[in-house]
């Protein structure tokens, strides 16, 4: 089954564990989590690319973070991920590395385990009973 669609994702090991990821058929993807989920930094939505080899998916997304205590401290984060899709779920891992704006590594790599569940409209009672 394809990874294309919207996913509820738990990133065990990330500063805030709950994310939404959207994978588009053209190989682009979006990632989002609540801004205040991480008490130390404010981060942008992640935007990136992916590719699949059967049920295995690999990719990366880019985000920017700003230190809440020192708004002049901006970092670029690159999060790389590998997933295996199992029907309406996936499991995998991610690794995040953060760089200063000159491109020098500052933090990471930081690891997280990923678990995803496909998001879709609720099923009607008739749809549930027909399964």
Q: What is the CATH number of the domain that holds 13?
A: 2.40.128
Two structure tokens written together for 95: 């690794």
Q: Which domain holds residue 71?
A: 5-129
- Give tens-digit pLDDT for 72-124: 889 999 999 999 999 999 999 999 999 999 999 999 999 999 999 999 877 65
Report the number of distinct structural domains present in the chain. Answer: 1
CB distance 48 to 61 below 8 Å: yes
Give tens-digit pLDDT for 33-62.
866 556 555 677 899 999 999 999 999 999
Distances (CA, A) of 68 to 17, 39, 44, 64, 65: 19, 8, 13, 13, 9
Confidence of residue 128 (pLDDT cuts 50, 70, 90): very low
């Amino acid at each position: 089954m394809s990874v294309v669609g919207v996913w509820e994702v738990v990133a065990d090991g990330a500063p805030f564990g709950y994310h939404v990821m959207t994978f588009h058929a053209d190989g682009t993807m979006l990632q989002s989590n609540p801004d205040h989920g991480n008490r130390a930094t404010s981060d942008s939505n992640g935007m990136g690319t992916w590719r699949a080899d059967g049920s295995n998916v690999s990719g990366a997304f880019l985000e920017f973070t700003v230190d809440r205590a020192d708004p002049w401290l901006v970092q670029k984060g690159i999060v790389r991920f590998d997933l295996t899709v199992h029907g309406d779920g996936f499991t995998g891992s991610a690794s995040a590395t953060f760089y200063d704006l000159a491109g020098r590594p500052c933090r990471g790599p930081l690891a997280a385990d990923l678990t995803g569940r496909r998001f879709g409209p609720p099923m009607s009672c008739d749809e549930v009973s027909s399964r």
